[in-house]
Structure 1
Amino acid sequence: MNTTGLVGVPDFVCSEFAGKQSEYCLLIPIINEGGRIAAELARAKAAQISNMVDIIICDGGSTDGSTEKEKLIEYGVNTLLVKTGPGKQGAQLRMGFYFALERGYQGVLTIDGNNKDSIEDVPRFIEKLKQGYDLVQGSRFVKGGAAINTPLSRTLAVKLLHAPVISLTAGQRFTDTTNAYRAYSRCYLTHPELQPLRDVFSGYELLAYLSVRATQLGLRACEVPVTRAYPSEGKVPTKISPLKGNVALLKVLFKNAVGAYHPSNSQKG
């Protein structure tokens, strides 16, 4: 599949290793995650996650061999999507959301591919979707969650800035708003006043927007406990640069707070 010409969906190439097996899918956006995505998928296989959701890799154009099809099939991956069009994380997610909605999934989960998150907690998200929630946010800061080796700067940024602004914008308290470990109902993703498939969502804009729009639309949102563990030593696995990346995140945060990404206000897509 190549989506040339579809507005709001980046061009991509699709390799389906199996058909639709579940009512839910798990999107994992990656780019050159190397051994980290391999370790995450190995954990998923051990926890039999592929029996609960269809695992879909949303690759941004990896060149490190981490998306070799034989390896992915061995780990139980259902589909590999490789983005060939422009954009970063937001574009990878749009690619995944488009594919998931076209396939008819009733719920879509997302998780980072750097092996920091407890992929074993997928059942918690599915349970909440089945209970009728439209946005399920994973949180290491609620009872039952765990924040392991989180850099102090990250903890302070989330608790003192990001979470309060998102919570105020959403009209509901959230505690771990930078965490991409989430679930969305089909009802939410297809709501006419959401419209996630727009080119304005290139980088981190889409995650911020999805954090607040559900409750603004009168849909149900909740948090579930998860574990997020950073390495005890070595480089922190992240795609956000210390200065430029964080400045960009702040801009997105406050544009989101004033409704800049609402369909009626966005001039793109």
Structure 2
Amino acid sequence: MLNAEWKIPNYTLIEYKPKANKYCVCIPVINEGEKIQKQLGKLKDFSNIIDIIILDGGSTDGSLGDSFLKKMNVRALLTKQDKGKLSAQLRMGFSYAISEQYQGIVTVDGNNKDSVEDIPRFIEKLEDGYDFVQGSRYVPGGTEVNTPLSRKLAIKFIHAPFISFISGFHYTDTTNGFRAHSLDFLLDRKVQPFREIFETYELLGYLSVQAPKLGYKVIEIPVSRSYPKGKIPTKISPLKGNWLLINTLLNLSLKKYDVKLHNRNELLKEKL
């Protein structure tokens, strides 16, 4: 099912157990220490309904030791050996999940901020035929704890309205990485997420826009996201983070990430 034209980062793979479920959860992580360990402790309870796959960006803090991951019922550890950040990690995770013939992929950050106990809800929506399921702390039933004011304002008044406008779907929590994706959506030739243009955080916004634009079944479901009290630890400076956010939104509005069909056969397929 893999396409030779896909651009997938080089990575190493350790498989701790065979595939056991029809869905998997991919967790991008880098140097999250106790946070990812606590999160995996919660996720272990759901390993009977979803396979756990770690997408490591190159952690050096010793938090992802083999014996620990085995104890947590992790199915596989993919460690990136290439350039790129979150989008590159997602590309390698999506490609692995597709090669393993999972029917849907849940993603969640590896920083222990998200309510992983809501994973059964994502599976339920995939089973109901939804292709893109966005977790939201801002729909009825969702909760937020200690969200930094600057981030909350950026989501509510910039990012979510902008993504909603260009996608045609009313989103409320578009920076939230707690999501689910169907294989039909990810394999659509008009989506093509396996491109090197997706390197930092572009893929999150792009998939949010493309799913409703292409007529896929989209829904937001309630989740919880909790930040610790006090200064928020982050790997991105506010200046750089805001620039990446704005730059991605501008590129989305200019359709920079959209697939260009040039080949005559591709254009004929598009018309069909």
Query: TM over 0.5, yes or no?
Result: yes
* 1:206-221 correspondence to structure 2 within 5 Å: 206-221=203-218
Contact 1:14 1:82 in 2 (8 A): yes
* 1:52 alignment counterpart: 49
1:257: which partner in 2? 253
CA distance in 2: counterparts of 1:95 and 1:259, whole angstroms: 24
Q: Residues 133-165 of structure 1, C-alpha deviation per residue, up to 9 Å, x if partnerless? A: 000000000000001000111110000000000
- Tell me the secondary structure at the aligned position of residue 243 of structure 1: helix
Q: CA deviation at 1:76?
A: 1.3
Contact 1:144–1:225 (Cα < 8 Å) also in 2: yes
Q: How does 1:143-154 map to 2 (within 5 A)?
A: 143-154=140-151
CA contact (8 A) 1:114 1:237 kept: no
State the secondary structure of the residue aligned to 2:176. Answer: coil
Residue 60 of structure 2 is aligned to residue 63 of structure 1:
yes
Shift of 1:237: 3.5
For the aligned residue pairs, the C-alpha RMSD in angstroms reads 1.6
Q: Which residue of 2 aligns with 1:35?
A: 34
What is the CA–CA distance in structure 2 between the aligned matches of 1:257 and 1:129, rounded to whole Å? 28
Report if the CA contact (8 A) 1:31-1:60 is conserved: yes
Alignment of 1:155-166 (within 5 A): 155-166=152-163
Q: CA deviation at 1:6?
A: 6.8
Q: Which residue of 2 aligns with 1:25?
A: 24
1:136 — aligned with what?
Answer: 133
2:187 to 190, 202, 206: 190
Letter in 2 for 1:264: K
Q: How do 1:3-22 residues align onto structure 2 when only pairs under 5 Å count?
A: 7-22=6-21
Counterpart of 1:252, as a letter, is T
Which position in structure 1 is the counterpart of 2:270? Answer: none
Corresponding residue for residue 88 of structure 2 = 91
3-state secondary structure, aligned to 2:55: strand
- Residue deviations 1:34-70 (CA, integer Å, cap 9, x gap): 010001111112xx21111100000000000011111
Q: Count residues in correspondence.
A: 260
For structure 1, which segment, 256-265 or 116-125, has the greater mean C-alpha deviation from structure 2 after superposition? 256-265
CA drift at 1:7: 4.4
Matching residue of 1:248: 244
Are the aligned partners of 1:23 and 1:106 in contact in 2 as well (CA < 8 Å)?
Answer: yes
Deviations 1:76-98, CA, capped at 9 Å, x for gaps: 11100000011111100000000
TM norm structure 1: 0.94
**Which of 95, 98, 102 is the equivalent residue of 2:99?**
102
